[in-house]
Amino acid sequence: MKAQSYLTVMLVENNRSDALITQSAIERAIERVRVISFLSGEEALAWLEARHSTDDLPDLILTDLHLSEMNGIDFLKALKGRENLLSIPVLLFSSLINPQDEEIALKVGAREVIEKPIDFYESVALFSRVFLDLFPSLHEGNM
């Protein structure tokens, strides 16, 4: 993680309502976070490709598995095909996860495949756990 005072999370979610709820849950789960939201994998890739410094890249990418044009697995494959993005952990999430998609996503390089909680507060608890697992320095208040 970069030496900054906040965690940067890229959220890729094609449903605007789900994106707003997820962003709110992330912001509730961790105090110092910046969420950058995109409605498609294509938009997110274009933004990532325009970054000229690794300091501008997100610390974590959270993408829906079932995006409209480029699905989450194709987005993940595109990410993992770019050397400067390999170190960014990617989590896929969806309300419907089948074992085949989960297996493929993990083989392609997803850090974790997460089922979307129905309840907002369950989402907050889930993101709290995920962020603390991925970024142990959050336990020490070093952010």
* Residue-wise pLDDT tens digits, 94-103: 887 888 988 9
User: Backbone phi, then psi, for 33, in 5-degree steps?
Assistant: -135, 145
The model's pTM = 0.89
Length of the chain: 143
Structure tokens, 141: 């208040």
Return the closest-CA partner of residue 67 out of 89, 36, 44, 35. Answer: 44
Residue with tokens 């079932």: 66
Give the integer Cα–Cα distance in Å for 136 and 121: 22
State pLDDT tens for residues 18-55. 999 999 999 999 888 999 999 999 999 999 988 867 77
